[in-house]
Structure 1
Amino acid sequence: MGRNLKNAVIALLTPLPSILFYLSFLDHYHQSHTTQPLWSWCYYHPLLLANIFFFFNVNVLFWVISHIQNSHWMIDLYWTVIPVMLVHYFATHPLGQYNLWRSIIVIILTWVWSVRLTHNYFRREKWQWGAREDWRFTDMRAQYGKHWWWVSLFAVYFSQQVFLIGVCLPLYVVHSVDKPLNIWDFVAVAVCLCGIVIAYFADTQLHQFVSRNSKLKELGKPVVLNLDRGLWCYSRHPNYFGEQLWWWGLVVFAWNLGHGWTFVGALINSMCLAYVTILVEERMLKQEYRAEAYRLYQKTTSVWIPWFNSSAQTEKQKST
């Protein structure tokens, strides 16, 4: 209980340096309209300022805290929070020019995405703050040994800056271009909502599967080897697919505003998730009790994009 409360306090206090500095900037701007060099620089370089906030408040501060606690748990939690902070930052920055309704829509969507992912994080962690770090970081800790203290700065934090700032570029574009709403905005909304809904149901089905297997283990009964029901019957990673739909939906907003180049952030994120998919599946195959069943699952089920199970197609062909 003490550790849980301590981690909660740490997590809530760590973003304060960036928040307080930004509020100070807004206060000085409204009073003097950027007459001082520092505040003038903050006014003319909103995207660069966001990166500086990320560098000092996440890369440096989170990194220091992680070594004090010997765990990199906090970056996972803040994956669900930083996009919300960024969308409000872009919306309130004095240099912002945008369509108010589009801004409201994107802000609401970002909050819905964040609440869903934050809920899934705490549900997975049994409602504990910082109970464990991502298994990939634990594996890298063992891999790099005594060098992990400095490698982690780049592998855990600098990389997250590239991914998070990159995928959030459409949020910047939405608050930099003032253009009336059109049909493509509603297409973007549909894609984003589809991604959120798919990810929610996929993660819920996964949580139920893991919980059920835990109970079976406690009772000394055989566990279910693979999750191949619900959305997982059509995709081996429907949660990843839903997450990617969300980010690419944001790209549609930016493309509609004449900044299709922002697809780069979503593309890098998708490529990273493709690599993570490989790591996850290799981890599954290393578990001897389920390796054979998982190989069959790989042969019959699409990796990301939901599609009909090949074994189901065979049964259908036999019956016709």
Structure 2
Amino acid sequence: MAIPTLHALEECSDFSKTVEPFIPQLYALPERLFAVISGNESLVKLYTETNPLISGFAISVFLGAVFLVAAEVNRNYSQVDRFWSLLPTFYIAHFDIWGRLTGVPSQRLDAALLFSTVWSIRLTYNYWRKGGYEIGSEDYRWPIIRKQVPKIVFHVLNWTFISFIQSILLFMLSAPAYTLLLATQFEPELSSADLAFTAVELGLILAEWFADQQQWNFHAAKDEHKKTGKVLPGYKQVDLDRGFLTSGLWGYSRHPNFACEQSIWFFLYQWSCFASKNLYSWLAAGPVFLIMLFQGSTWLTELITSGKYPEYRDYQRSVGMFVPTSASTYKAPVAKPKVIRTSELANKQKQK
């Protein structure tokens, strides 16, 4: 069988029983794929006879190689970024489709695919309107890192982390769906807990959308103020002059959208733990690595931002990076009225 026969719900998260027995299938995949290409084996047969976790992992490694080649050929290292909003949903759909083809109940996976699809649509739209899909566009952080390290070091970074590790990470974020798939052997019906987890996920996606929209609206108002001098309704000139958003959700967290993003995948992992009646499992590797990635990425973002805006360090001291440090929002300093000296006033009158 392509999935293990388990005797207890708790075994659904046991690495030694759900992963290790199928690792040899990974080594056999190249030969079997060659047989498919040669016409000696059916692709559907290969797909259904291969453990879905193994085949999903193999796809992530293959895509890592594609990202590597594309990055080196185009000298653009944001190849993974372009697919970030799509691949976790693709992998969850992979588990769902595999379950349907093999007759495994897939209601839980349908629910997981629902929230993931909504997440993909929202994130893809956000990435598109920021110009992420424009030809030649690249994440602003990679050029900065490229300037700070030797050329060979950056290439090694691309050969390992940027292309392959990030690709595998996107698979690992969706891997808890494998546990949901295995748990249907014991609880095939969609439970109220499954609906609750789905609702929480959709709520986090909504909160992330609000945070992104608040940031987008603020920068649109700031750009309008720079071009025309107008202060759009809902904003104050002192806020636009400061250069960064400190109100709304951004008054409680310096990066509420990032906090929601990490929580979305952490809760999918928690969902798999609940479904298998385990407090933790090896599948924590995905969300834990994502949190570590956000720590480093956000640190670099804030280093750049604090260099552009003098008041940002005060904001950092008052508001938590992801988790609010207090119940109160950030209190922006009140702009002091400009004092005009008598001599300056006299000069202005002479000029008139």
> TM-score range with shorter-chain normalisation?
0.7 to 0.9
**Paired AA for residue 68 in structure 2:** W
Q: Which residue of the partner structure matches residue 201 of structure 2?
A: 192
Offset, 1:59: 1.5
2:181 counterpart (175, 178, 186): 175
CA contact (8 A) 1:90 1:175 kept: yes
Identical pairs, percent: 25
- For residue 216 of structure 1, what is the aligned residue in structure 2? 225
Aligned pair partner of 2:287 in 266, 284, 288: 266
Q: Report how many residues are paired.
A: 276
> Where does 1:222-301 land on structure 2 (aligned, <5 Å)?
223-258=241-276, 260-261=280-281, 262-287=283-308, 290-291=309-310, 293-301=311-319
Q: Which residue of 1 aligns with 2:327?
A: 308
Q: Give the structure-2-normalised TM-score.
A: 0.71
Deviation string for 1:120-140 (max 9, x for gaps)?
101111x74344211222222
1:121 to 114, 121, 127: 127
**How many angstroms does 1:204 deviate by?**
0.9
In structure 1, C-alpha distance between the alignment counterparts of 2:103 and 2:284, rounded to whole Å? 21
Larger Rg: 2
Partner of residue 97, structure 2: 92
Residues 203-239 of structure 1: CA deviation (Å, up to 9, x unaligned) = 1111122222223333478744220111101111100
Q: Would you say the 8 A contact 1:185–1:252 is kept in 2?
A: no
Structure 1 residues 251 and 285, CA gap change in structure 2 (3 angstroms):
same
In structure 1, what is the Cα distance between the partners aligned to 2:288 and 2:118? 22
1:28 is aligned, of 20, 27, 42, to 42
Compared CA separation, residues 274 and 150, structure 1 to 2 (3 A): closer
| TM-score normalised over the length of structure 1 | 0.77
CA distance in 2, matches of 1:155, 1:252: 26
When residues 92 and 255 of structure 1 are mapped into structure 2, their CA distance, relative to the original with a 3 A threshold, is same
Instruction: Assess if the C-alpha contact under 8 Å between 1:97 and 1:176 holds in 2.
Output: no
**Structure 2 residues without counterparts, runs of 5 or longer:** 1-32, 231-239, 332-352
Computed over aligned residues only, the root mean square deviation of the Cα atoms, in angstroms, reads 2.6
Corresponding residue SS for 2:42 = helix
Moved more, 114-123 or 62-71: 62-71
Query: CA offsets, 1:90-111, max 9 Å, x none?
Result: 1122686754322221111110
Tell me the distance in 2 between the aligned counterparts of 1:92 and 1:169.
14
Residue 314 of structure 2: SS of its match in structure 1? Answer: helix
> Does the CA-based 8 Å contact 1:197-1:242 persist in structure 2?
no
Provide the rounded CA distance (Å) in 1 between the counterparts of 2:291 and 2:94: 25
State the distance in 1 between where 2:136 and 2:218 align.
21
Of residues 168-177 and 105-114 in structure 1, the stretch that sits farther from structure 2 once superposed is 168-177
* C-alpha contact (below 8 Å) 1:116/1:200 kept by paired residues: yes
1:302 Cα deviation (Å)? 2.3
Tell me if 1:137 matches 2:142.
yes
Give me the whole-angstrom Cα distance separating, in 2, the residues matched to 1:29 and 1:59: 22
Aligned residues of 2:70 and 2:79 also touching (Cα < 8 A): no
Amino acid at match of 1:273: F
Kindly indicate which of the two structures has a greater share of residues assigned to helix: 1
Structure 2 residue 106 is matched with structure 1 residue 106 = no
In 2, the alpha carbon distance for the partners of 1:135 and 1:63 equals 18
